[in-house]
Amino acid sequence: MAKKKSGEPHPHGDDMRELGSKQRAGKALSELIRSVGTELTEVVQDVSAGIPGPPRIISKAEALARHCWERALPATDEDGDVTPGSIDYVKIVLDRSDGKPGSTDPRGDDGKESVPDRVSRLNKERLNTMADDVLGDIDGNSQATA
């Protein structure tokens, strides 16, 4: 089977071609973000024990995770006033640590039917049509007695 040229129209429409290129770009970006995140470039001062320890070098991913945690947790200022954590960061931390809850809407954000749901629906309709044709021939054309 010959490979299609990029100028040829996609058999299922240009939306599918664009979707494929967006998915490839998204995967490439995710891979690059993961690889940059593992670079050991950030320096932090560990003060968790109450007394400052030697500085540590951590990855960018760990620094970003620490930033999210700092913003999510409530903080106490010098006057003793407690400021609540940012709800946006709380959501990020919970989604990433516990897993994001599934969507109850079977359609995507744009209201379109997903590809697996569409394939399932079309196959169901096709099978029902075939069954109606078979049963219609038996019931309508047959003179069988039971």
What phi, psi does 56 have (nearest 5°)? -120, 150
Q: Two tokens at 103? A: 């969507």
Q: Two tokens at 140? A: 């309508």
CB within 8 A of 47, min separation 6: which ones?
A: 53
Domain ranges of the chain: 19-101
> So what's the pLDDT on residue 7?
61
Exposure string of 104-119, with b = 16+ CB inside 10 Å and e = fewer, is eeeeeeeeeeeeeeee
**What are residue 85's DSSP bridge partners?**
none
| 146 residues of the chain, pLDDT tens digit each | 455 555 666 555 566 566 677 788 878 877 877 787 778 888 888 766 667 778 888 888 888 888 888 899 898 888 889 889 899 988 888 887 776 666 555 555 567 788 888 888 888 998 888 888 888 756 555 444 44
d(CA 60, CA 58): 7
> So what's the pLDDT on residue 17?
61
